């Protein structure tokens, strides 16, 4: 028996166990056989994409829509590749391609056809070519589909199989216990061949939730998952996975069945594509988010959702206490797992991660400041009580236009500090395209679409973008040049391996200090989070050793241990020890 055969045998056993928990022992065998049939169909193609497992200090991730940069009728992926070659050569190793499928709303997350590429992005051949150069993260939008999806059209027409793929309910049903990130009605009215029906719609009336209590839905989505693996996915992002399983009388979030589905997907990649990283997207309070590591048997990577609002709050207030205290209590990820660190994405700056960390009046004060900088706030419904703030809709660059005292001259320095701090912490750093080019608020986009999230989803024409990136006085040029410099330094520093140890030191509210350790290197990250010059005696930070001096990788300045570090507003240091001789 080959090792592959052994992996498949183990997969069949584990899959049967999980499917029995989901659907009962009497149904598990038949469902397992169907699942294994899918595996055997896709497995030979998946093996053609074999690559080395694991991520290291050279890895970074770009978050972008495939058609965020356009030129005439050319596919967006051609412009994206050109952008990376011209401005971030050999610095981005992985690309999170936000949903590139045909869609009806929400810029891709209302999927019409899960297995097609929309023309503005390109074709499967373009995805394949990109996957030979970069690790591609596919978005698996597994909670819901578009009203225009064939499954839902079948539901409307009362045809198989789609007529059984959705959750239909009496509109008088008590759904007050359900936790969700929107303030719209949970049950959407739908005109069908059987009259008006109401279906479960967590996110919008155009995003209809799938009914995973029907095993055919699970099998259909596993078919799509395996299809993505066969197309060369290096990472797979499980969009909105926390809401997957519904059970009235519960909050319908993080249910045990949801975790069982994630574990089943982990079993699949471990058996047939161990180089693939499973990433869970759960914009929820921090401890809930960490639950998707499981016991090392669920996600290989979870989003660090607390980072965007914590870093924003820290730099807005000029006070590192909250960030330091949070980082001091941050548990290391399980062996083989890591964090996906980011500050911005296609969504807004989520606020749920601040629950229990920051009092409501401080959150409101931050929101008031973001309004001053041109931002908006999206709300969410609560099981009982009024709606509450869910996310800030603003470009991260403009969110750092100033502090709680108003705009100032330090926007670029403050923004660079935010990105450098993020890429110093344990995990893999992820940069949103709009952050790499310091995009301001796209107010025109909001006015055009009527959607608040459009403020940070600007679509660039190649000509104006290239011109801005080459203009020595333009923020896009200034930010991209310095970020590229710091990414090169990070790529060559073993201390930034995702598995390297992390220690945080509390050296006062004006500084954030984090130490990264590997067997080969130690880096002291020191960040001035204020708009005034700060001084730190180096001997407070490093152990006494007369044989060493310390060099800042970023500025190349050298210090002796008896020296004071003088940090300009928002200056970042990456200090490493060097032998004096």
- Give the residue numbers marked as catalytic: 239
Output the six-digit token pair for 577.
């020890």
219 — alpha (psi -120 to 50), left (phi > 0) or beta? Answer: alpha
Q: At a CB cut-off of 8 Å and minimum separation 6, what does 180 contact? A: 186, 202, 203, 243, 252, 253, 380, 381
Output the six-digit token pair for 314.
């820290």
β-strand partners of 282:
none
Q: Which letter, b or e, does each residue of 410-437 get, where b requires 16 or more Cβ atoms within 10 Å of its Cβ?
A: bbbbbbbbbbbbbbbbbbbbbbbbbbbb
- The Cα 34–Cα 29 span in angstroms is 9
Counting beta carbons within 10 angstroms of the beta carbon of residue 519, is it exposed (0 to 12), middle (13 to 18) or buried (19 or more)? exposed
β-strand partners of 380:
388
DSSP state of 353: G
DSSP string, 176-235: TT---S--S-SEEEEEETTEEEEEE-SSBTTEEEB-TTSHHHHHHHHHHHHHHHHTTEEE
Q: Is the peptide bond before 212 cis (omega within 30 degrees of 0)?
A: no
Output the six-digit token pair for 501.
């140890």
Output the six-digit token pair for 172.
């008088």
* CA-wise closest residue to 530 among 478, 568, 575: 568
Output the six-digit token pair for 425.
């912490």
Phi and psi torsions of 388, nearest 5°: -135, 160
DSSP state of 112: S
Report strand pairing: 511-517 vs 522-528. antiparallel
DSSP state of 103: B
Report strand pairing: 522-528 vs 572-579. antiparallel
* CA-wise closest residue to 457 among 72, 101, 105, 59: 105
CA distance readout (Å), 356 to 285, 330, 404: 8, 15, 22
Question: Any idea which residue has 């990136």 for tokens?
Answer: 469
- The Cα 64–Cα 70 span in angstroms is 13
- The Cα 269–Cα 13 span in angstroms is 15
- The Cα 305–Cα 289 span in angstroms is 8
**How many secondary structure helices (H) and strands (E) does the chain include?**
17, 28
DSSP helix/strand/coil, 128:
helix
């Amino acid at each position: 028996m080959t090792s592959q055969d052994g992996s498949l045998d183990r997969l069949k056993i584990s899959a049967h166990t999980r499917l029995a928990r989901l659907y009962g022992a009497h149904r598990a065998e038949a469902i397992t056989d169907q699942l294994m049939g899918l595996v055997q169909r896709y497995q030979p193609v998946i093996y053609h994409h074999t690559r080395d497992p694991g991520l290291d200090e050279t890895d970074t991730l770009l978050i972008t829509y495939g058609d965020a940069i356009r030129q005439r009728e050319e596919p967006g992926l051609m412009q994206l590749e050109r952008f990376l070659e011209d401005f971030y050569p050999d610095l981005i190793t992985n690309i999170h391609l936000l949903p590139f499928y045909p869609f009806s709303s929400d810029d891709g997350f209302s999927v019409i056809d899960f297995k097609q590429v929309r023309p503005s992005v390109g074709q499967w051949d373009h995805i394949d070519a990109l996957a030979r150069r970069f690790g591609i993260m596919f978005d698996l939008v597994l909670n819901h589909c578009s009203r225009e999806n064939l499954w839902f059209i079948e539901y409307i027409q009362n045809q198989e199989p789609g007529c059984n793929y959705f959750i239909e309910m009496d509109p008088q049903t008590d759904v007050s216990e359900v936790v969700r990130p929107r303030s719209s009605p949970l049950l959407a009215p739908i005109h069908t061949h059987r009259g008006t029906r109401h279906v479960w719609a967590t996110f919008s009336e155009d995003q209809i939730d799938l009914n995973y209590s029907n095993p055919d839905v699970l099998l259909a989505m596993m078919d799509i998952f395996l299809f993505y693996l066969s197309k060369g996915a290096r990472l797979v992002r499980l969009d909105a996975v926390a809401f997957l399983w519904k059970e009235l009388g519960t909050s319908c979030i993080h249910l045990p069945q949801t975790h069982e589905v994630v574990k089943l997907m982990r079993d699949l990649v471990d058996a047939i594509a161990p180089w693939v990283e499973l990433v869970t997207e759960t914009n929820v309070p921090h401890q809930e988010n960490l639950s998707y590591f499981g016991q090392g048997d669920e996600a290989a990577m979870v989003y660090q959702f607390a980072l965007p609002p914590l870093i924003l709050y820290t730099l807005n207030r000029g006070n590192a206490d909250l960030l330091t205290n949070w980082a001091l209590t941050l548990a290391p990820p399980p062996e083989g797992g890591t964090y996906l660190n980011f500050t911005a994405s296609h969504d807004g700056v989520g606020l749920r991660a601040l629950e229990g960390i920051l009092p409501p009046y401080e959150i409101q004060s931050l929101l008031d400041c973001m309004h001053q900088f041109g931002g908006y706030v999206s709300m969410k419904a609560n099981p009982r009580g009024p709606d509450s703030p869910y996310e800030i809709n603003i470009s991260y660059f403009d969110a750092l236009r100033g502090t709680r005292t108003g705009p100032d001259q330090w926007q670029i320095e403050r923004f660079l500090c935010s990105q450098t701090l993020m890429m110093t912490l344990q995990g893999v750093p992820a940069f949103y395209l709009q952050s790499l080019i310091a995009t301001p608020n796209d107010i025109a986009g909001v006015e055009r679409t009527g959607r608040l999230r459009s403020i940070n989803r600007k679509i660039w024409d190649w000509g104006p973008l290239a011109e801005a990136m080459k203009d020595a006085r333009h923020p896009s040029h200034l930010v991209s040049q310095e970020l590229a410099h710091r990414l090169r330094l990070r790529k060559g520093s073993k201390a930034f391996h995702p598995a390297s140890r992390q220690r945080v030191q509390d050296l006062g509210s004006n500084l954030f200090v984090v130490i990264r350790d590997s067997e080969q290197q130690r880096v002291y990250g020191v960040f001035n989070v204020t708009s005034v010059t700060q001084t730190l005696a180096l001997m407070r930070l490093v152990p006494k050793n007369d044989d060493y001096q310390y060099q800042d990788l970023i500025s190349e300045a050298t210090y002796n241990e008896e020296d004071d570090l003088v940090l300009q507003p928002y200056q970042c240091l990456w200090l490493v020890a060097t032998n004096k001789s």
